[in-house]
A and B are shown apart, each in its own frame.
Chain A
Amino acid sequence: AQTVTQSQPEMSVQEAETVTLSCTYDTSESDYYLFWYKQPPSRQMILVIRQEAYKQQNATENRFSVNFQKAAKSFSLKISDSQLGDAAMYFCAFGASGTYKYIFGTGTRLKVLA
């Protein structure tokens, strides 16, 4: 069975600074996808970034990038130049290829300080 662990229930970052949210997972699958979703107080889950396990290159979307360490089963999210609008709950999710079901982590609440 797959598991996803987010060990930081809450993080804070100063506006314009950089913050890294951690996520580790456990699986015996070889083909899978990893995701970071953002859920602001407005409550909609927004896809931030996606990583295919077969790709060695780390995914990047503007100020968001991941550090994907497949052997260590680690998938951290780096947010650069943090903005007030980045304040949200961030969920890490695992999806095995060929299955519909995600395994979610417990989430990290990010606060951005002005």
Chain B
Amino acid sequence: DTEVTQTPKHLVMGMTNKKSLKCEQHMGHRAMYWYKQKAKKPPELMFVYSYEKLSINESVPSRFSPECPNSSLLNLHLHALQPEDSALYLCASGIGTSGRGGYTQYFGPGTRLTVL
């Protein structure tokens, strides 16, 4: 089972709103990722959590705030976003070790975010 779930599927928000994206996996993976993807482009890494600690922040603006409450759950809190933040937000999880499977990432279906 390589399922990563994301909610909601679609989100429309105003620039003054606060919203959250949720990602969940039950594969025992210890690495979890947030990506931003614009149309016809590859995903761009935003954050990586390893063993529930923030491991990588790719200089993402503070209006995006990640949270990893436990090993199965990853949130992305959104506040005061700009229209250019409209994109597909993908979550991924991975084993996160140098063992068999290496750092293979398994992606969720994404949340389509529109900022008005």
Contact = CB atoms under 8 A, between A and B. Distances in A.
Interface stretch (B15-23, B60-68, B75-83, B107-115): B107-115
Given A43-B88, A46-B107, A95 B102 contact: yes
B43 A98 contact: no
Contacts of B50: 100
B109 A43 contact: yes
Contacts of A105: 42
Contacts of A97: 98, 102-103
A78 interface: no
A59 interface: no
B104 A47 contact: yes
Nearest to B58: A101
Contacts of B33: 100
A51 to B, nearest CB: 11
Contacts of A43: 88, 109-110, 112
Contacts of B43: 45, 104
B48 A102 contact: no
A76 B69 CA distance: 39
A44 B55 contact: no
A100 B96 contact: yes
Interface string A46-90: 110010100000000000000000000000000000000000010
B88 A102 contact: no
Contacts of B40: 89, 107, 109
B39 to A, nearest CB: 10
Nearest to B88: A43
B102 A33 contact: yes
Counting from the closest, the 7 A-B pairs by CB-CB distance are A104-B42, A45-B107, A44-B109, A100-B48, A33-B102, A95-B103, A43-B110
Interface of A: 33, 35, 37, 42-47, 50, 52, 89, 91, 95, 97-102, 104-107, 109
